[in-house]
Structure 1
Amino acid sequence: MNEDGRGPSAEPLLALIGEHRDSIRAALGDTQYALLLARLGELAEAPPEETMAVRRGIRGVELALRPLPFTHPLRSALDRVRLVAAPPGPETVSEALRLVNLFTHPEPEPEPAPGPELDPDPAPAPGPLPRAASESVFARGQAPDPLLGEPALSAAEVRARCGGAPPPELIRLLDPPNGDRYPEFQFPRGSGTPHEVVLTVNRLLLADVDPRGAASWWLGSNTWLGGSPASLLGRLPDQELVGAAVALVEGE
């Protein structure tokens, strides 16, 4: 706990991401790693004074790290983060921006001392990556967005399934070139209204304010459940899925 009785903040977790970036890359698959980079970019561009925007950014990073094995050094820090109890400060955004710069412009390997035939005045090393460039890599679409590559229904298809306006608990992903996308796992295959357990879990995950974070939880690997929650719909009791979401929200 902090001195004011609130849970620990996210800054130590972000610092560990930088410290262990090589082992993180080795532990995550390509799609999982791309998702982590995208979430770091989103956190880096969050307005520091907008607490909810920063919270959403932190949650996105946290969920993107969940596929790490339990033996990874980040797991203990990840499990200590309390997004509800610990209001983020401006340091959270600045640390995320530092990580974006680190991932997109790693420090060069030290070069050997110049010999008699080498240029004694090599060109200076490039400076930090500007914020705009950092955002263009992760937040402007250059990094692949695995969530938009998942099977999804259009807004018209969802209205037809729901018989009108869809419930706010449904995950709705913005895709300006193609229109809003609703991940298909939220509905029974072929026809029918949304799974009730999906709506229940989405309420816990605040899908109406953080749809990408909720989608990442459903579609990402979950060691506790033994697979991605979306793939286990109808195969595990609904209460097990709800319990896993409660454990995430409560930080267990």
Structure 2
Amino acid sequence: MNDGRDSSTGRLLALIGEHRATIRDALDDVQHALLLVRLGALASAAPDDDRAVRRALQGVRLALLPLPLDHPVRTALDSVRLVAAPPGPTAVAGARELMVLLAGSPPSLGPEPPADAQDQLLSMSALSADEARARCGGAVPPPELIKLADPQGSDRYPEFQFAAGGGTPYEVVLTVNRLLLADIDPWGAAAWWLSGNTWLGGTPASLLGQLTDQQLVGAATALVEGD
């Protein structure tokens, strides 16, 4: 039996397919590649694994945030509430159809974004594992911190997560990263921090220290809850 959650998610996925041309025009190559990765993750999720489906839906939302506010797909994001139990079969089946429509082939993507998307995210200023440990008082960096693996196999911690002048991690960053499941999907969390956010008026990472913690947490909560 379908309910509001089922119809809202199905409508969102249908709109992505319907407006795929304007989505492609509105997103740059890296953003579009990330969208395909996130749809691939949703298409590969087990339909009865609510956590996996919810996490994958969140990734799709992250990838669609750069769309203009008046774009029909961007508007539809607000109707999908991720705090509710997600309609797994509808979401997974819809994502699989979309992957064929958008990419021309069934989903075969891994958990990481393609190389060009990785390069952009890895180009930001970052700390090594040893430097991050030093910023955490010599302790192992908490799992809430975004940790990206570069092609050489080294761990990189985006520097925006730490207070300037050799400071420790921002508490608000840890809070937001918990909401974004950064320990599970660090690439998606990094994309949120570094993508333009029309509600906040800029990229969240650039607004640390300028906006209140409540504003940043509110923006991340709205994404997760679909408000």
Q: TM-score, length-normalised on structure 1? A: 0.78
Alignment check: 8 A CA contact 1:9 1:81 kept: yes
Letter in 1 for 2:16: I
Q: CA deviation at 1:173?
A: 2.8
Residue of structure 2 equivalent to 1:12: 11
Point out the structure with the larger helix share: 2
Alignment check: 8 A CA contact 2:61 2:223 kept: no
- 1:144 matches 2:144: no
Q: CA deviation at 1:130?
A: 4.7
- Matched-pair identity in %: 64
- 1:233 matches 2:204: no
How far does the alpha carbon of each residue in 1:6-30 deviate from its partner, in whole angstroms, 9 at most, with x for none?
Answer: 5755222111111101111112233
Give the CA RMSD over aligned residues. 2.5
Matches within 5 A, 1:109-128: none
For residues 208 and 142 of structure 1, the distance between their equivalents in structure 2, rounded to whole angstroms, comes to 20
Matches within 5 A, 1:79-118: 79-105=78-104
Change (3 A) 1:104 1:171: same
Query: 1:153 aligned to 109, 112, 127, which one?
Result: 127
How far does the alpha carbon of each residue in 1:223-247 deviate from its partner, in whole angstroms, 9 at most, with x for none?
Answer: 0111100011122233222222232
Residue of structure 1 equivalent to 2:162: 187
- 1:218 matches 2:189: no
For residues 149 and 87 of structure 2, the distance between their equivalents in structure 1, rounded to whole angstroms, comes to 25
How far does the alpha carbon of each residue in 1:144-194 deviate from its partner, in whole angstroms, 9 at most, with x for none?
Answer: 334334332222221111021112221223446422322221012351110
Count of aligned positions: 224
- 1:77 matches 2:50: no
Alignment check: 8 A CA contact 2:31 2:117 kept: no
Query: 2:217 aligned to 239, 242, 246, which one?
Result: 242
Gaps of 5+ in 1: 106-128
Local SS of the residue matching 1:10: helix
For residues 68 and 129 of structure 2, the distance between their equivalents in structure 1, rounded to whole angstroms, comes to 36
> Which stretch of the first structure deviates more once superposed, 236-245 or 79-88?
236-245
Q: Which has the larger radius of gyration?
A: 1
Q: TM-score, length-normalised on structure 2? A: 0.85
Local SS of the residue matching 2:201: coil
Change (3 A) 1:181 1:142: closer
Q: CA deviation at 1:64?
A: 0.9
For residues 140 and 66 of structure 1, the distance between their equivalents in structure 2, rounded to whole angstroms, comes to 17
